[in-house]
Amino acid sequence: MNIEKSYAERLDKEDELKTFREEFYLGKDTIYFDGNSLGLLSKRAEQSVSKLMASWKEYGIDGWTEGAHPWYYLSEELGNLTAPLIGAEADEVIVTGSTTTNLHQLVATFFQPEGKRTKILADELNFPSDIYALKSQLALKGLDPDKHLIQVKSNDGNTLETNDIVRAMTDDVAIIILPSVLYRSGQLLNIRTLTKEAHARGILIGFDLCHSIGSIPHELSECGVDFAFWCTYKHLNGGPGSVGGLYINKRHFGKHPGLAGWFSSAKDKQFDMEHTLFPASTAGAYQIGTPHVLSIAPLIGSLEMFEEAGIDRVREKSLRLTAYLMELIKAELSDYGFAIANPQDEISRGGHVFLLHPEAARICKALKANGVIPDFRNPNGIRLAPVALYNTFTEVWEMVARLKKIMDKKSYKEYENKRGVIA
């Protein structure tokens, strides 16, 4: 392969998405490869917050129905902008809640243990908060989480085998919750196959899209996925704590929300103030509380950029960035004890590269001290996410060069091999 910096610079000149980099606030002399934890602030997101603040200032309470983005319909408006990213119809998507709140809502709605179908199928590599939620939902149903939560085992501690997941789809499983992309290794699961196999056994299936939405295109409706949920502060660049989202396949429209709330109501009935809920006939029925307008605001600008860039082009560049990163690691860092633990084939690779090294925590600290922002995952993982909208091939080259220098000089030994309060 070509390991010269000039090659990376040529790739950047040919990049169709290069102008979007100008939209983001980038740290001086800093290479930010942590967009799969928190995306960077864009100028458009900043402007959309200012516009929403101005609408509050100008209209007061009338901002719910007046202005460029009336707050009463904002969750639906942004659901419409999100839908193309996941292959859904506009009314199947709503921007609301948080990842875990939405998971609680969906499980409360769709997990109805009956007869021998009393178990939830998940996996042992999922993000902890999903497992916390599933265990608490089982407990609320009077079921023992230790007996009724099945977690598919990993053979290597980093990835899952499709066949292992399918074998776990036994006739006592009522519902399946899986990540689309594993948060550590970046493995992209085969959503289409898993959905088909689940439905063949009469099991509902839903996916956590936190590490794929905004990085990978999905075809949720075409695949027949029952539901999905996600955050918006990673690849979607919605800001810290920005409002999440959920998807409901339209064949489930009309099902009463398990956790009913003020904004579960049909828009035209909500202010009749009746004590009987008439749920919205769309995914909007699965909202609970009032939209967090100021936390939704950044998504207006951010999702506009995704509409312009197109998720397919984002995915194409993302794959090229991660492929280039892996090639450079193999060429330049093969003598330093790093192991690439993410899937290397494009079909199974998400939006980041996952390196294993016994000194991972202190290497991450050394990278930060040298102007590279990675992400450490306990006990020995380094996640590197070159994001299509704002990272470059030259940054990939420069990051590897800085890492090689750190390893040559052993400057990582200046730091404790222990994570900080936030990894």
How does pLDDT run across 15-39, given as a tens digit for each residue?
999 999 999 999 999 999 999 999 9
91 annotated to bind ligand: no
Residues 257 and 330 in one domain: no
Q: Is residue 168 part of a domain?
A: yes
322 annotated to bind ligand: no
Q: Which of 308, 327, 349 is the last residue of a domain?
A: 308
Contact of 367 with 403, CB cutoff 8 Å: yes
pLDDT digits (tens, 9 = 90+) for 299-336: 999 999 999 999 999 999 999 999 999 999 999 999 99
Token pair of 260 as six digits: 């009913």
Q: Which residues are CB-contacts of 297 (< 8 A; sequence separation ≥ 6)?
A: 45, 48, 49, 51, 52, 53
Q: Is residue 211 part of a domain?
A: yes
130 annotated to bind ligand: yes
Q: Write down how long the chain is.
A: 423
Residues 18 and 98 in one domain: no
Residues 180 and 318 in one domain: no
98 annotated to bind ligand: no
Residues 111 and 187 in one domain: yes
172 annotated to bind ligand: no
Residues 195 and 115 in one domain: yes
pLDDT digits (tens, 9 = 90+) for 122-146: 999 999 999 999 999 999 999 999 9
70 annotated to bind ligand: no
Q: Is residue 37 part of a domain?
A: no
Residues 131 and 209 in one domain: yes
Residues 371-393, mean pLDDT to the nearest whole number? 97
Task: Provide the domain limits for residue 337.
Answer: 5-32+310-412
Residues 260 and 356 in one domain: no
Task: Give the full edge-to-edge strand order of the sheet including 375-377.
Answer: 339-340, 353-356, 381-384, 375-377
Residue at token pair 């409002």: 243
Residues 279 and 378 in one domain: no
Provide the number of structural domains found in the chain.
2
CATH no. for residue 366? 3.90.1150.10
The pTM of this model reads 0.96
Judged against a pLDDT cut of 90, whether residue 401 lies above it is answered with yes
312 annotated to bind ligand: no
Q: Is residue 418 part of a domain?
A: no
127 annotated to bind ligand: yes
Contact of 360 with 423, CB cutoff 8 Å: no
170 annotated to bind ligand: no
pLDDT digits (tens, 9 = 90+) for 180-206: 999 999 999 999 999 999 999 999 999
Residues 55 and 20 in one domain: no
